[in-house]
Structure 1
Amino acid sequence: MEGSSSSSNYVNPRNKSYDKHSTRHSNYNNYNSQHNLDYNDDYLLFIWLASLKRFEEYLYLFIIVWNNLRLDNDRISRSLEFNDEVGQMKNHIEDLFTNSVINKQELEKYSTLLDDYRDHSYNDLEAKKEFVHNALNKLEKCGISKYKHQLNGLKALQKRHVRQMILDRMESFVDISSQSHIVDEEENDLSVDNPIELRKEIESLRKQNSKLVQENSHYQATLGKMTNTRLSDQDPNNATQLISDIKELQHLLEEFTIVQGPDYKINEKKSMELFSKNKCQANFSMPNAKLILGGILQKCVILQILESFESYFKNFKTNKYRNNTDDVLEFEILNTTERLTQCFNNFNEKRPGKDDITQTIPTKIRQQICASLGSRGFSNENHPLIVETAKKIRDSMNIYREITDPDILDEIDTQSIQITHKVISIFIFRLKTQQIEPKYHFFKSGDEIDTRLMQGSWREEVKKSEVVEVCYFPCILIQEDNKSNQKILVKAQVYTRPKNTATSATGGSSSVFDMFKNIIK
């Protein structure tokens, strides 16, 4: 089913020859093998797919075909493919509007439909089911009830072929409407009833109108960009790319905090003190003690970098570091952003009005500035914040482990710089580029397991009998105004231990989601 629709061999079900031979085909299949019966089912599905006449029918079919394909954190490539195909469908819808096939209201309707379906596919599976149910209802008159089980049973590769056919057909609708648009214009131009002078005047007015339409489109596009706080699919800070970069940071942290192997000597006394400080019950008679130690060190690295940044920023505000202006550029920008955002929030409150731009300016300011800082902030490796913080985390690691291999020591120096950059870039800047700013949270030792918010290596049948031993990477979550609508960007990474009733009762939590009520405001 792949390939351009212009060279398609699709059979038109309205063709009379097909109707003539339908009885003969039915008789033949009565004697055919099960393999051929299955093949005939595929053929009939193929015929039905090709028989759809309207572009909106393919739009609803697109939603149905994507329905049973999972889009979770472990399927980054599929998520990228999903976002790319939604973007292609939206582009085709916009082209149909350009060719006057649909009006502005229909453009907004179908574009919003695709945007909402994409959002619900990640954030609200119940709402996504409702979308699919409505799509099935829309296609009921086309006879989808005969084929919906067959569509659901298609393998992932087969569904990809069907989606490619849908995209090809949408492209065909655009091509045909474009040619029709050109023909209509030419027929109007060649009207023999118009006098020469009138034709010239009409041509002049047409050019003026075209110019005004272009200018208006430019202004509308500019206004749309100014009021739209949703990140595009191509934005380097969209959720898919951000999650991918967070996973890269997790991998770097794992390598940086390794304590297992002949090249590492553990200071067990200091490590036991660290276990106690984090309320972990591990000790070095247990086979997983080094694993737990590595997890605690990952958490310590993240927190130490964030604390170092906050301390540096606090000292900047008290004029301690303002002598060297080059070193405090990022803090100057952040400080100005905070003041400007607060001013606009007050302006929105004190100066009533109905324009959308003023309402969105605080969010746009935060997004744009944090995107820039996330890309280029502290990009010179000799910045004192980066150098000093990297040394601090190396020194902290050396308290609990000693590295005997000089080659590994050289790698550790480089990794400490990279990790410092990435933690500041992601946690301080890039999380703030989202439409709604995400929050992060480290769970405590003894907290109960919640698979909605945590990821670990527990078995399903024993997870209720285990609690958190250490949370080595935080849960990152977006909480919208509607408290029931939560989007998990990244689940917390945890190691577990068997539940101790006494410890769990004092240190754990009956509902992990309740914690976020005090964290997310």
Structure 2
Amino acid sequence: MSTKLITENSNFIEESTKLENKNVADAITLIREYYEKTESLREENKKLREEIEEINNLINNQKNNADLSNHIKLFQSNKELQEKFNSLLSQKQTIEQQLKEKTDEFKKSVQLVEDKENEIKDLEEINSNLKAEALKYQSALGAATSFQLSDDDKNNSVRLNEDIERLQDNLEDYVTNLRSKTKIHYKKLNKLFAQYHCKLEMKPRIKDPTLIKALLQRHVIEFIYNNTAEYFDVNNIDEPQSLESEITFKVNELISLTDKFAKTRFESSKVTSAVPIKIRQQIFSVLSNHGFSDIINDGQVKSEHKLISQIKKQLNQEINSYREITDNKKKKKCEELAVIIIREVIKLFFFRLKTQEPIAKWKWFNNNDKIDPNQMTGSWDDDDDLENATVEICIFPLIYKDPNSSSTELQIYTPAKVFIRDDNSSSSEEENGENGINEEKGKESKDSKNNKTNKTNKNSNSISKIFKSMIIKK
């Protein structure tokens, strides 16, 4: 359309040119040139526009391509992420499945642990019960094979020593101090001294009450022992008076049989070997605690055991033949004390010593035996020289265990109580005067008893030597 316009314009110009002057023609020429140039510019502009459009299209295409590339990259990345997600999801599911399986296993393990813990608790309880039962059996086994007496047993060594000391005190009280309201029968007393090989002779003016007390205490013990031994030697059938004798006979027989059984049976246990000793300890412990107590008949009437009554009567008569108590009240008290002493002596020498393991023994020391401070007790001090000291009379025997039959290894319960004599001690005229020896000698001369006087003088000299050392510890 623009070309047509240009043509029309050219025609118009040509016509105008013809009509106008040269200036007009020039102007038209300029206009034509202007239009031509304009058309050229338009064409150029069009081309530029087209180029620009192409450039823009190119730019747009490049942008779209960049977006597409980014999209592709994002898609690819998304795809990769999706694949990773799917892979992770699969792993998650696998892990969850494994976790579930592990959880189930853990639960089973926990349940198994709980079951085991309960089983352990049950086993621990069973074990505890077994230990308690084993301890019980072990204790029973220990008790069955142990010969040690318990602290609360009346026959243990401590109680035994205490009871021996109490018996010694009772013996002194029973004999009395021989001073006031007491008459001494010297003739019979001197025979008793001779019986124990004491070459002494006592008289009203030639006497030592402490030594006489010692002699009578010794005699009380031996009198009770000898009379009781006769009771056990006789086959008594007087029930229930003879039960102590029958039980003693039977238990000795049973001890002998069980000891023989343990020694003659193959693989006999310690318990079996302990049976004879346990029987001895148990039976003699019962006899020690209740033997020769008052007897109760079917009607619950209490009476004194016949042996106790018999020995009590005989003992009081025997001791009164050496020392006679003129005070009735004092005499009655001593005679009542005799029952306690008789029972204690019998229990000690016939029962209590047999409860010990090994069986405890006793030993009387003889007149003129050397003093042994380890086995004896008397009136001496720790710093006294006992090298030449000897025994005048043994008042109470040595109570001891002898596991190895060696005196140096004796286990002493109670040392012997002795009255000492020092053979190297000398007498003085002053001592003789103090003890009435010269006065008694003068009286014997007036009666023309020269032989008796010489004998008295000899014995009084011996007595005077020991007066100051003859004090018995209470």
Instruction: Give the TM-score range, shorter chain.
Output: 0.5 to 0.7
Q: Does 1:472 align with 2:391?
A: no
Q: Does 1:297 align with 2:216?
A: yes
Question: By how many angstroms is 1:462 displaced?
Answer: 3.9
Matches within 5 A, 1:169-180: none
Question: By how many angstroms is 1:344 displaced?
Answer: 1.6
Residues 315 and 500 from structure 1, CA distance in 2 versus in 1: closer, same or farther, beyond 3 angstroms? Answer: farther
Amino acid corresponding to residue 410 of structure 2 in structure 1: Q
Question: By how many angstroms is 1:276 displaced?
Answer: 2.0
State how far apart, in whole Å, the 1-side matches of 2:289 and 2:384 are: 44
> Aligned residue for 1:3?
none
Question: By how many angstroms is 1:253 displaced?
Answer: 0.3
Q: Does 1:409 align with 2:357?
A: no
CA contact (8 A) 2:251 2:280 kept: yes
Question: By how many angstroms is 1:198 displaced?
Answer: 3.2
- Tell me, which stretches of 5 or more residues in structure 1 are unaligned? 1-190, 502-521
Deviations 1:83-133 (A, max 9, x none): xxxxxxxxxxxxxxxxxxxxxxxxxxxxxxxxxxxxxxxxxxxxxxxxxxx
Matches within 5 A, 1:71-470: 195-284=113-202, 289-316=208-235, 321-322=236-237, 324-380=238-294, 382-459=304-381, 460-470=383-393
Residues 201 and 314 from structure 1, CA distance in 2 versus in 1: closer, same or farther, beyond 3 angstroms? Answer: same
Range 280-289 or range 208-217, more displaced: 280-289
Deviations 1:348-372 (A, max 9, x none): 3322325101111111111111111
Residues 194 and 264 from structure 1, CA distance in 2 versus in 1: closer, same or farther, beyond 3 angstroms? Answer: farther
State how far apart, in whole Å, the 1-side matches of 2:391 and 2:126 are: 69
Question: By how many angstroms is 1:435 displaced?
Answer: 1.2
CA contact (8 A) 2:179 2:209 kept: no
Range 240-249 or range 352-361, more displaced: 352-361
CA contact (8 A) 1:282 1:292 kept: no
Question: By how many angstroms is 1:240 displaced?
Answer: 1.0
Question: By how many angstroms is 1:441 displaced?
Answer: 1.2
Amino acid corresponding to residue 487 of structure 1 in structure 2: Q
Residues 426 and 205 from structure 1, CA distance in 2 versus in 1: closer, same or farther, beyond 3 angstroms? Answer: same
State how far apart, in whole Å, the 1-side matches of 2:188 and 2:154 are: 41
Question: By how many angstroms is 1:331 displaced?
Answer: 1.3
Residues 481 and 461 from structure 1, CA distance in 2 versus in 1: closer, same or farther, beyond 3 angstroms? Answer: closer
> Aligned residue for 2:422?
498
State how far apart, in whole Å, the 1-side matches of 2:136 and 2:192 are: 60
State how far apart, in whole Å, the 2-side matches of 1:446 and 1:201 are: 79
State how far apart, in whole Å, the 2-side matches of 1:227 and 1:461 are: 45
- Tell me, which stretches of 5 or more residues in structure 2 are unaligned? 1-108, 295-302, 426-474
State how far apart, in whole Å, the 2-side matches of 1:457 and 1:480 are: 30
Residues 298 and 482 from structure 1, CA distance in 2 versus in 1: closer, same or farther, beyond 3 angstroms? Answer: closer
Alignment length (residue pairs): 306
Residues 204 and 462 from structure 1, CA distance in 2 versus in 1: closer, same or farther, beyond 3 angstroms? Answer: closer
Question: By how many angstroms is 1:480 displaced?
Answer: 0.5
Secondary structure class of the residue paired with 1:327: coil
Question: By how many angstroms is 1:296 displaced?
Answer: 1.1
Matches within 5 A, 1:33-48: none
Amino acid corresponding to residue 498 of structure 1 in structure 2: D
CA contact (8 A) 2:262 2:268 kept: no
Identity of aligned residues (%): 33
Question: By how many angstroms is 1:384 displaced?
Answer: 0.7
State how far apart, in whole Å, the 2-side matches of 1:446 and 1:485 are: 24
Question: By how many angstroms is 1:469 displaced?
Answer: 1.0
CA contact (8 A) 1:281 1:469 kept: no
Question: By how many angstroms is 1:289 displaced?
Answer: 2.0
State how far apart, in whole Å, the 2-side matches of 1:334 and 1:217 are: 34
State how far apart, in whole Å, the 1-side matches of 2:207 and 2:328 are: 27
Deviations 1:277-310 (A, max 9, x none): 2221333367762211111111111111111111
Range 473-482 or range 274-283, more displaced: 274-283
TM-score, scaled relative to structure 2: 0.61
Secondary structure class of the residue paired with 1:493: strand
Secondary structure class of the residue paired with 2:282: helix
> Aligned residue for 2:437?
none
Secondary structure class of the residue paired with 1:284: coil
State how far apart, in whole Å, the 2-side matches of 1:276 and 1:221 are: 55
CA contact (8 A) 2:178 2:323 kept: no
State how far apart, in whole Å, the 2-side matches of 1:262 and 1:245 are: 29
CA contact (8 A) 2:221 2:345 kept: yes
State how far apart, in whole Å, the 1-side matches of 2:223 and 2:160 are: 22
Residues 482 and 298 from structure 1, CA distance in 2 versus in 1: closer, same or farther, beyond 3 angstroms? Answer: closer
CA contact (8 A) 1:231 1:435 kept: no
TM-score, scaled relative to structure 1: 0.56
Q: Find the structure with the greater CA-based Rg.
A: 2
State how far apart, in whole Å, the 2-side matches of 1:388 and 1:354 are: 46
State how far apart, in whole Å, the 2-side matches of 1:375 and 1:243 are: 16
Secondary structure class of the residue paired with 2:241: helix
